[in-house]
């Protein structure tokens, strides 16, 4: 059995999990509601305050789906109770970030500013303090969406290996290279 798939997802108080006939799992909690369509081969049951997932056979595909959907349901339950947060840092001279609602205005060293629209499901905040790098904070209940938006923001100017300039995740450790002087 899958080590991840066989573990039940514990439903905390204040959260309701329902499974429709089309295998759509709906999770409602204090922070919102999330839906996920589960593969038709994986059976989902809600019993005694726990969500259990089962697979029909030991085929590679079924084993993979078993663990995947257990993780997705677990992430949905955690999202509607606690939520998710991702912080990004802008490292570089003149790099700036400002937001108006869910529209992000980024100055990343290009000839023009980049206007980036954040999906309405997420909350965005920017912080600029003197002597520190500008920060972008993303918050929401959907782990996949937050990760996707953060990766897209990072891809606008990836950190380069010599000085570390670019958009990086807070706490990310970059592999730095030595410059020209290292060759002699």
Rounded to whole angstroms, the Cα distance separating 167 from 90 reads: 5
At 183, the pLDDT band (50, 70, 90 cuts) reads low
pLDDT at 39 over 80: yes
CATH code, 27: 3.90.930.12
Residue 55 is part of which domain span? 9-81
Number of domains in the chain: 2
pLDDT score of 1: 46
At 182, the pLDDT band (50, 70, 90 cuts) reads low
Whether residue 117 is contained in a domain is answered as yes
Q: End of a domain among 19, 53, 81?
A: 81
**Higher pLDDT among residues 1 and 100, named by residue:** 100
Q: End of a domain among 81, 110, 135?
A: 81
Query: Within this chain, do residues 42 and 102 fall inside the same structural domain, yes or no?
Result: no
CB 125 within 8 A of CB 99: yes
Whether residue 179 is contained in a domain is answered as no
Q: End of a domain among 56, 81, 106?
A: 81
Give tens-digit pLDDT for 64-86.
999 999 999 999 999 999 999 99
């Amino acid at each position: 059995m899958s080590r991840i798939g066989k573990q039940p997802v514990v439903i905390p108080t204040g959260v309701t999990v329902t499974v429709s006939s089309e295998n759509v799992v709906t999770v409602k909690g204090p922070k919102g509601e999330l839906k996920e369509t589960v593969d038709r081969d994986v059976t989902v049951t809600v019993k005694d305050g726990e969500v259990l997932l089962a697979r029909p056979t030991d085929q590679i595909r079924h084993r993979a789906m078993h663990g995947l959907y257990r993780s997705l349901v677990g992430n949905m339950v955690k999202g509607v109770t606690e939520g998710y947060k991702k912080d990004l840092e802008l490292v570089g001279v003149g790099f700036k970030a400002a937001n108006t609602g869910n529209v992000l205005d980024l100055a990343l060293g290009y000839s023009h500013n980049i206007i980036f629209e954040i999906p309405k499901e997420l909350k965005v905040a920017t912080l600029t303090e003197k002597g520190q790098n500008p920060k972008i904070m993303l918050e929401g209940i959907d782990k996949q969406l937050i990760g996707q938006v953060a990766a897209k923001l990072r891809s606008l100017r990836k950190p380069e290996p010599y000085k570390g300039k670019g958009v990086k995740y807070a706490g990310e450790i970059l592999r730095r290279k030595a410059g020209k002087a290292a060759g002699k």
